[in-house]
Amino acid sequence: MDKKTVEDIQVEGKRVLLRVDFNVPLDRDTGAISDDSRIRASLPTIKYLVDRRARVIVCSHLGRPDGKVVEGLRMAQIAVRLSELAGLPVSAASDCIGEQVENEAAALEEGEILVLENLRFHAEEEANDSGFASQLARLADVYVNDAFGTAHRAHASTVGVARHLPAVAGLLMKKELEVMGKLLDDPERPFCCLIGGAKVGDKMDLLQSMLDRVDILLIGGGMAATFLQTQGYEVGRSRVEEDKLILAGRLLKEAGERKAHLLLPVDAVVAEELTAGVMTRVAPAAGIPSGSHIADIGPGTTELFCGELAKCRTVLWNGPMGIFEIPEFAQGTRSLATFLSTLNASTVIGGGSTAEVVQEMGLSDRMSHVSTGGGASLRFLEGATLPGVSVLLDK
């Protein structure tokens, strides 16, 4: 990795502004944290700083308050959970900028932790306002970005602050960049990319990028309908992105001309309505009923895809194979997750909804890496420059 990390600088006794991604999911009914994986992911960096007697000032956004104070999105319960997980006292600030917070940050003793209030209570955060960034920077001597999940956003706390303070990567950011970088530059082969999700438009750049790098490309999810129609199949009432048909056809043609072995579903779970409790049936890809939606890959496709995955030494998975939130349409996704967890290969889960599936199934520890950044990992693997990474100091 060509960026400096927290391990490359002196942090002893210094006030460190640590940008993390503690945008954890909250229970709709109680407002309590329903999954603390993102907090756990940054514990190594926090403990590294505490062990070296740094004064740690943690900052993050939570939810989408749109520049206003939302009581249910305060960071106080995040600070409590962080304290429980780290086994250390953690205090919560009443804001993230201003004289009172500056005094609290200045009063921190070595090894102490202060969690700032939700950054997005201020509209200036997402606007990357230079004045807001300057106020954040006044709290610290050094800036450490451990929030890979927001590295694709040019916000005040991910880009603006780095113009005022020495800026380096945290240990989680370092790990994410190393894992994703290896996929792009030096994967162990055979290398398979398993791509799903609802829309071709969301993944076309990733598909194009992977086509030059992988040995096997497997396409499932709702986006498969657009590819199947490109090949002349009827797809019933399934959503087809008409404006992406030409691009999908071009991708299939390019795959045929290159080394990548591209496979589409050979069957599908179909239903007349995409709702829980509906009747389903399995139909061949060449025989999708006119009144049905494709809702999941079928058992034949699952077997086909597992056979290809079994050949591989590296697998990247981004996007579910069906509408996994609905039990009737989750079997394909769950079967592939289970199969991947048994492989003797490097298995990288590309964040977002795919990570949610793996975490919900309790399989995270059986994968080589589960990314904390859905959008960020997607952009990185597309070959794009991440603003929150580019501003960090070069080695």
Active-site annotation holder among 38, 55, 153, 237:
38
Question: Rounded to an integer, what distance in angstroms lies between the CA atom of residue 214 and that of residue 230?
Answer: 22
- What's the sign of the alpha-carbon dihedral 234, 240, 242, 248? negative
Task: Clarify whether 199 is annotated catalytic.
Answer: yes
| Cβ(257)–Cβ(357) below 8 Å | no
Q: Nearest 5°: phi and psi at 172?
A: -70, -45
Pairing of strands 191-195, 314-318: parallel
Cis amide prior to 190 (ω within 30 degrees): yes
Question: Rounded to an integer, what distance in angstroms lies between the CA atom of residue 322 and that of residue 222?
Answer: 7
Active-site annotation holder among 63, 181, 201, 375:
375
Q: Which of 286, 357, 282 is nearest to 317 (CA)?
A: 357
| Cβ(79)–Cβ(62) below 8 Å | no
Task: Clarify whether 220 is annotated catalytic.
Answer: no
Q: Which of 270, 338, 328 is nearest to 305 (CA)?
A: 338
Active-site annotation holder among 199, 239, 313, 366:
199
Q: 10 Å Cβ neighbour count for 99? A: 8
Q: Nearest 5°: phi and psi at 247?
A: -65, -40
Active-site annotation holder among 197, 222, 236, 352:
352
Task: Clarify whether 52 is annotated catalytic.
Answer: no
Q: Nearest 5°: phi and psi at 345?
A: -155, 170
Catalytic residues: 38, 199, 352, 375
